Amino acid sequence: MAKLIGLCLNVVILCSTVGAVFEDQVGKFDWRQQYVGKVLFSNFDAQSQSSKKVIVATENNVFASLNIRTGELFWRHVDAIGPEGKIDALLHHGQDALLVVGDGRLLRSWEINIGGLNWEIVLDSGSFQSACLIGQQDIVKHVAVLKKTAISLHYLSNGHQKWIENLPESETVDYQSVYSGGNGEVYVLGIVPHSHIAIVVYSLEDGEIIRQFSVEAPWLSNIQASCAVIGEGMLTCADSATVSLYMLDLESQTEMSQIPLQSLGLEVTPGFQPVLRSTQPNAARPPLSEFFLQVGPEQHLLLQLNDGQIVTLRDFNPALLVSFATTGEKTIAAVMSPKNTTACSLNLFSAETGRRLLDTTLIFPLDPNGGKPEELYVQAFLKKDDSVGYRVMVQTEDHTLTFIQQPGRVMWTREEALSDVVTMEMVDLPLTGTQAELEGEFGKKADGLFSMVLKRLSSQLILLQASISHLWKLFYDARKPRSQVKNEVTIENLSRDEFNLQKMMVMVTASGKLFGIDSKTGTIVWRHYLDNIPANAAFKLMVQRTTAHFPHPPQCTLLIKDKDTGLATLHVFNPIFGKKSHVTPPAMPQPILQSLMLPVMDQDYAKVLLLVDDQYKVSAFPSTKNVLQQLQEIASTIFFYLVDSSQGRLSGYRLRTDLSTELIWEVVVPTEVQKIVSVKGKRPNEHVHSQGRVMGDRSVLYKYLNPNLLAVVTESTDTHPERSFMGILLIDGVTGRIIHEAVQRKAKGPVHIVHSENWVVYEYWSTKSRRNEFSVIELYEGMELYNSTVFSSLDRPHAPQVLQQSYIFPSSISTMEATLTEKGITSRHLLIGLPSGGILSLPKMFLDPRRPEIVTEQSREENLIPYAPELLIRSEWFINYNQTVTRVRGIYTAPSGLESTCLVVAYGLDIYQTRVYPSKQFDVLKDDYDYMLISSVLLALFFATMISKRLAEVKLLNRAWR
């Protein structure tokens, strides 16, 4: 029997589809883009003109090296998500980069050429404060790590600890900074806020305390924010209250001397906290005596400490950003100042004198759809004639990195905002101009027979012309070698292809930057930065009008809600060009709870969006008279539900004709015991072709296809493995009727769920067996259909049959989504993003609660696979072969014009786009289809027929004569 089952399984698996691609298909219709995230720390490789690397450490716990000529990644290391992998500090010395990771948990040294790990050590516990390289006699050999209660010194070569010392009085003193001037002493600077600065000096050799003293500083609250060490151990702090600089010689232990800024002839913008910026080009030497003081949002000063006197070298006003850079013995200051509305100019100044260096102006073009510059990273190098050349990497508010070379040539830009995509939609591309013209002909109102005929003829002529020019282009391109034919994607030549396989991906990122990406090539067609996005905003993207309504432009609406205030704004734009629409979105003075897209259109074919505010009043957008009239007519059939996770409340509302609402049902899940983690309805664009399933005896088991069904997942608040549980609730969103309810004991989240057709698939962690499990619920009406023409939740007296089965899955998962096709004929697959970076295409037929334990004639007739508790991961099911998608957070599926094909976008740190064919390509000829052979055989047969016909005629004639 087992053999038989095995055989059946083999047959089924062999017959079922394969998601993998052939080697020659790699990159043909899929692409991947790798990102690193918002840059926190960045360092350039060796300070020479020929160096090619910049190393970056980012907010997404990524440490990577970028090629400065192309902007591509040399290598990338992705650490754990969250505080565990947070990069606290990046120190760069020669070919080594030192990272402090996870709030001072680990100290790592990387070789930056190949990205290999030199060594890694685990540091003693304690929260990380600061780290710095320590040198002596021009050789840097050590690194000091300062923690809350201890300071430790490690060798750069192998990471071994040289010494570790507990800090004195660490309960009261908040040690914040460590500094060494290269004279064999390590200074640890601590502070008791609004009281005094505590300074401990350790010997580099054995960690003994050489001196320890404290200086009164009642005005100071934070060393790192307002102080810097300048010159030969001069601690300088800026105070905004008294508008003065305080200086303390760390070696002579005297009182702090106050220098009012007014005495230097300087003024500080009221309310601005002055910022000091010093530079220490070599860790074995003291910092330079020149430093920047920022006294206003756009004013920087280059100051110099000269024998205890502060001299103003230069006043930069206005200056957006300043930065020091060192090459050889020269230190220069780069200053970015606004030029006009479209560009900024960068200039180099000698740090010692404040003189402007000749021929160093560089223009940074400001993207009107981008953010303001935020950070400046300068790579300075000595040219052959000993003058200083430089390149800059500018980081803007929208997390874009732009790399510029003199005299203003943008080498590359990286849109790091795409590492954090929140939501996306795929929009059909418009038809080409000629096609659109044809369509427009039918869209317009008829004005007489004759003109219609003329119009028709002219449009046909245009079409003919277009096709001839297309053919000519094909012929022309075919003669050129393939590498020369470049298909540059621009807005002008964007058009829908034959099978609607190319679409516009509209991506919304957490930083508030919107992108339009061509799905075929991955080219960013447009970008738009929304600059007033609150930090914790919730986004909801909706397509109000598709491209099908020429000449009306397509229209997308982005609902942005500030979670703190609850207030929301709408951004209405054209998804193809990214331009803001002329339609003025309504003002929304009330906090918005949810939005609801109706299938009702206004006279301009825009779908109506309903916005529900906290008074449960509804406003419509667009709210023309026509729309309001339509709304009044259908108000009684509009229902909406709201889920308040914090109160554990699910409530259903019904729209009244005056656009107020009435509560019709409410389900309360007690928040002390369990909380609602997710609610999934069905996708509105999902089509189900078959209304039932054919049984082995050829009767039909009808599916329960309730479009209003919601799957609600709850998790227990108790996380103890013995007591934790998860619940699943299938509830009708119109009536509030609970269709099915199940509690899975000894199960834990995170729960991933897919709800489609008549089934719900969810995945959880079983704490009892310590494994990941899939469970599938399918709903059936039974052998009879109650009402085959209309579905109304209010009129379904019979409860559906519920079937459920569970399986063991060998891996945890990151995200899950189901494939979607145009008509729903193609079988469904589940796309599962794994933490390993693979995307698995699992046929839904493996997750089928009707899989029998005992094989019968009927089940074999139905092609049911015998039940096996384990779901295997077969390597050919990975749709992204070796193109790992790191930290996949979401998978988006969209139907294409071909029934067999589903477009897939996986996003996370990387973005990966491909196509899947769940039932193989049954409606397309294969790529390797031999057109030549077939046509030549056909032609040969045709000629053979002709010739033999002629021969036969001759022969007949001859015979007749005989």
Binding stretches for other proteins (CB under 8 A): 538, 540, 559, 561, 563, 568, 592-594, 596-600, 610, 612, 634, 637-645, 676, 678-679, 681, 687-688, 690-692, 694-695, 698-700, 705, 707-708, 733-734, 785, 787-794
Hey, which residues does 906 pair with through a beta bridge? 891, 912
In angstroms, what is the minimal distance from the CB of 628 to other proteins? 16
| Residue number, 580 or 687, with CB nearest to other proteins | 687
Could you give the C-alpha distances from 777 to 522, 763, 774, in angstroms and in order? 37, 12, 10
Which of left, alpha, beta for 181 (phi over 0: left; psi -120 to 50: alpha)?
A: alpha
The residue type found at 329 is: E
| Residue number, 285 or 654, with CB nearest to other proteins | 654
| Residue number, 634 or 940, with CB nearest to other proteins | 634
Phi, psi angle pair for 238, to nearest 5°: -110, 140
Listing DSSP states for 293-343 in one string gives: EEEETTEEEEEEEETTEEEEEEEESS-SEEEEEEETTEEEEEEEEE-SSSE
| Residue number, 582 or 698, with CB nearest to other proteins | 698
Any residues with CB less than 8 A from the CB of 448 and at least 6 apart, and which?
A: none
In angstroms, what is the minimal distance from the CB of 699 to other proteins? 6
Q: Is 440 helix (H, G, I), strand (E, B) or coil?
A: helix
Give the residue from 262, 263, 288 showing the smallest Cα distance to 276.
Answer: 288
| Residue number, 858 or 875, with CB nearest to other proteins | 858
User: Which strands sit side by side in the sheet containing 607-613, from one edge to the other?
Assistant: 592-601, 607-613, 618-621
| Residue number, 275 or 593, with CB nearest to other proteins | 593
| Residue number, 43 or 735, with CB nearest to other proteins | 735
Bridging pattern class, strands 839-843 and 890-895: unpaired
CA distance 200 to 189: 7
Token pair listed for 142: 């050590």
| Residue number, 456 or 689, with CB nearest to other proteins | 689
CA distance 747 to 766: 4
| Residue number, 418 or 713, with CB nearest to other proteins | 713
| Residue number, 75 or 539, with CB nearest to other proteins | 539
| Residue number, 514 or 631, with CB nearest to other proteins | 631
CA distance 903 to 403: 33
Strands (E), 137-274: 139-147, 150-155, 161-166, 174-179, 185-192, 196-203, 209-216, 227-230, 234-239, 244-249, 257-260
In angstroms, what is the minimal distance from the CB of 742 to other proteins? 21
In angstroms, what is the minimal distance from the CB of 586 to other proteins? 17
In angstroms, what is the minimal distance from the CB of 691 to other proteins? 5
Whether the link from the prior residue into 551 is cis, omega within 30° of 0, is yes
End-to-end CA, the chain? 75
In angstroms, what is the minimal distance from the CB of 733 to other proteins? 5
In angstroms, what is the minimal distance from the CB of 693 to other proteins? 9
| Residue number, 432 or 827, with CB nearest to other proteins | 827
Q: Is 569 helix (H, G, I), strand (E, B) or coil?
A: strand
In angstroms, what is the minimal distance from the CB of 559 to other proteins? 7
Angle of CA points 59, 64, 65, to nearest 5°: 135
| Residue number, 313 or 556, with CB nearest to other proteins | 556
In angstroms, what is the minimal distance from the CB of 689 to other proteins? 8
| Residue number, 246 or 640, with CB nearest to other proteins | 640
Residue 811 burial (10 A CB sphere; 0-12, 13-18, 19+)? middle
Residue in the structure block whose two tokens are 């709030």: 103
- SS (HEC) of 500-541: CCCEEEEEEECCCEEEEEECCCCCEEEEEECCCCCCCEEEEE
Element (H, E) at 625: helix 625-634
> CB of 272 within 8 A of CB of 241?
no
Q: Is 410 helix (H, G, I), strand (E, B) or coil?
A: strand
Could you give the C-alpha distances from 509 to 366, 421, 513, 538, 796, in angstroms and in order? 20, 4, 6, 11, 42
CA distance 921 to 923: 6
| Residue number, 270 or 684, with CB nearest to other proteins | 684
| Residue number, 545 or 887, with CB nearest to other proteins | 545
| Residue number, 290 or 732, with CB nearest to other proteins | 732
| Residue number, 419 or 544, with CB nearest to other proteins | 544
The residue type found at 691 is: Q
In angstroms, what is the minimal distance from the CB of 732 to other proteins? 9
Listing DSSP states for 693-714 in one string gives: EE-TTS-EEEE---TTEEEEEE
> CB of 179 within 8 A of CB of 165?
no
Which of left, alpha, beta for 184 (phi over 0: left; psi -120 to 50: alpha)?
A: left
The residue type found at 452 is: M
In angstroms, what is the minimal distance from the CB of 631 to other proteins? 11
Give the residue from 329, 334, 328, 321 showing the smallest Cα distance to 390.
Answer: 334
CA distance 211 to 252: 11
In angstroms, what is the minimal distance from the CB of 677 to other proteins? 10
Token pair listed for 365: 């073009």
Residue 237 burial (10 A CB sphere; 0-12, 13-18, 19+)? buried
> CB of 188 within 8 A of CB of 199?
yes
Give the residue from 390, 405, 308, 295 showing the smallest Cα distance to 349.
Answer: 390
In angstroms, what is the minimal distance from the CB of 600 to other proteins? 8
